Amino acid sequence: MTNVVVIGAQWGDEGKGKIVDWLSERADVVIRFQGGANAGHTLVIDGTTYKLSLLPSGIVRKGKLAVIGNGVVIDPWKLADEIEGLKKQGVDISRENLRIAENATLILPLHRELDGLREQLAGKGKIGTTGRGIGPAYEDKVGRRAIRVYDLKNPETLPRKIERLLAHHNPLRKGLGVDEIDGNKLFDELMGIRDAILPYMDSVWALLDAQKRAGKRLLFEGAQGTFLDIDHGTYPFVTSSNTVAGNAATGSGVGPSTLEFVLGIAKAYTTRVGAGPFPTELHDEIGRRIGERGHEFGTVTGRARRCGWFDAVLVRQAVKNSGMDGIALTKLDVLDGFDELKICVGYELDGERIDRLPAGQGAQERVKPIFETVPGWKESTYGARSWNDLPAQAVKYIRHIEELIECPITLVSTSPEREDTILVKDPFED
């Protein structure tokens, strides 16, 4: 049996939720290892829609253990609301199926407020964050002043941790012209939420080691996408964590040898939410058509996603960054009915052809896509569950993408329904 890591191969919103849910039927444990409540997943199961932000997708499957790893920044109030919302939808959540890393960092109200203040003051330099406090919480983690899950268990030591935290934040808030934080009030707020979180707290690294030794299948669920990675993405228009496969080990406390199959998720076209470079973006009727047919609105923010043609250069780079063993191609059906399709096969930068996205912000803004035009198909691919159900030209499109990204397509998704999936290779099988 194989442990699987699922990683977004573009800018997030690739359809990871459905694929992780589809895979979770074969897994025993589903683990989130980075990001926070900015990572929206929409699952459609037996006609019921579940919208998740912090909880791993496996939480809606009976008999599965959902784990939030140490690499995730947790807003305890948002998490409590999400748990209660799912319970109202009939999902049973208890310590039997949910564990939270004791050393995970907490997102506090001051983090959310600071996030919003910075975006307001940035003007044209806005990064386009979700305003959920993700970045400020990671800053405090790296600055070694964060409040962590385990701190909720120790009210006698928490006040001095809060004092250390506010020694940084209150001068910053004063400089921004907003009221300072009352440490006693923050303490009371944390004591008010602790009972909703502590029942799920665990030493996740030890838990996963025990699960692995017991022969359980582990599924690591990535959030966002490769090009929102703090190191490898379109910096500074990125998230505040590492979204590539290597962080599945760091963000959950397992060794890298545990990560046995890396599955990248990519749409049959490209989308992006918020600001930042987007070489294949379409500003015309075709882009609007793709967005409308694909229902391209953010799960967390509701913001319309920018849409463009498939960028093979970008996805090939993601394949290398994470050592992807296969790609799940999603939303193929959105491309039904086009006379022709375009695929980006290279970039032009200052008159020179290049085969990768450069690291510099200015260079990323100047790259121009080099497109190859291929025939489209008129037949519907919606709901296809086998290669025989696909139009010949759709199969050719998939095979050509495989060649360009230098990675096999192991799954094809043809609708939001989990059953509408073409399986080429099961990632859990050796």
The radius of gyration of the chain's CA atoms, rounded to the nearest angstrom, is 22
CA–CA distance, 43 with 45 (Å, rounded to integer): 6
CA–CA distance, 10 with 423 (Å, rounded to integer): 21
Residues 6+ apart with CB under 8 A from 103: 70, 148, 149, 150
Residues for the chain: how many in total? 430
Under 8 Å between Cβ of 36 and 245: no
Under 8 Å between Cβ of 385 and 360: no
For 110, other C-beta atoms within 10 Å of its C-beta total: 22
Give just the sign of the alpha carbon dihedral 366, 367, 373, 374. negative
Side-chain-facing half-sphere of 184: CA atoms under 13 Å: 0
For 174, other C-beta atoms within 10 Å of its C-beta total: 11
Tokens, residue 255: 């060794």
* Nearest C-alpha neighbor of 398 from the set 313, 330, 320: 330
Note if the bond before 136 is cis, omega within 30 degrees.
Answer: no
Q: Which of 21, 28, 41, 46 is catalytic?
A: 41
Under 8 Å between Cβ of 376 and 339: yes
Q: Mark whether 325 is an active-site residue.
A: no
Give just the sign of the alpha carbon dihedral 4, 10, 12, 14. negative
Q: Mark whether 13 is an active-site residue.
A: yes
Strand pairing partners for 347? 354, 369
Tokens, residue 342: 């375009």
Q: Which of 13, 21, 229, 420 is catalytic?
A: 13
Residues tagged active-site: 13, 41
